[in-house]
Amino acid sequence: MIPIKTPAEIATMRIGGQITAAVLGVMCSAAAEGVSTWDLDQICAIELAARGAKSACFGYSGKQCPFPAQICISINDEVVHGIPSKQKFLKAGDIVSFDLVASYDGLMTDSTRTVIVGQTSPEAEQLVRQTELALFAGIAKALDGGHIGDISFAIESHAKKFKLGIVRELVGHGIGRDMHEDPRIPNWGRRGQGPKLKAGMTLAIEPMLMLGSETLNFDNDGWTVRTADGKWAAHWEHTVLVTKNAPEILTVLKK
């Protein structure tokens, strides 16, 4: 059963989404040459606490060892789940993904942004930009009465247009009462296939695209996933509410 959120839960997730977006904005602004990912993780903890929220990433175990940080910070060939470290410093030209799941009043919202430190190659800039646009292509199909496959097909079609590899072992998911709820949301698929979308569903849609091969390696730390060929990857994600009308992005700051 795919959870349908109550009006009260949706109201709480709207607040949580704004917190997630605000904290990610601070993280992206703090991403500068010479800054350690450990320092960035400490900033995340402070910013969450200041807003009455906490990280759902910290201590999360799943099938692996507990995640030891507030936020996932993945650099260049690290696709997802990079662990912040005092020994890891950002360099000019890096592309950096910040993946945060914030918990507010018992409900969770999930979002990821990929930013560029200084200037990088045109190829890497294209990767970051088109991964973000693939996300919005998918979000546009999160419509009441549609299907998960509509989202998946839109993301895959955009990625193929720019000859970008698609991560297939990892997928988007439902979000809210738990970090990972049904349904699974692959970044490839067929229109009209998969579970039917209904108003009140909250989805974490998250294309992860690569410049090279779609083969992945998993580090011995139990978390970090990187490209097997060493080419770079980008990751964008929003928590989206399916409504009777247009999809509502909960993790974009409202003006």
Q: What is the CATH number of domain 7-249?
A: 3.90.230.10
Contact call for residues 250 and 17 (beta carbons, < 8 A): yes
* Burial class of residue 236 (count of CB atoms within 10 Å of its CB; 0-12, 13-18, 19+): buried
Q: Is a pLDDT exceeding 90 seen at residue 184?
A: yes
Per-residue pLDDT band for 62 (boundaries 50, 70, 90) equals low
Give the single-character DSSP code of 69: S
Residue pLDDT, tens place only, 43-59: 999 999 999 999 999 99
Residues 118/123/128/129 CA torsion (nearest 10 deg) = 110
Map tokens 């900033």 to a residue.
43
Q: Is a pLDDT exceeding 80 seen at residue 76?
A: yes
The whole model's pTM is what? Answer: 0.97
Report the interhelical angle of 7-30 vs 37-50 (nearest 10°): 140
Residue pLDDT, tens place only, 123-154: 999 999 999 999 999 999 999 999 999 999 99
Collect all residues with Cβ–Cβ distance below 8 Å to 84 and sequence separation of at least 6.
36, 37, 38, 40, 41, 69, 70, 71, 73
Range 173-201 average pLDDT:
98
Give the separation between CA 29 and CA 254, rounded to whole angstroms: 18
Give the separation between CA 255 and CA 213, rounded to whole angstroms: 39
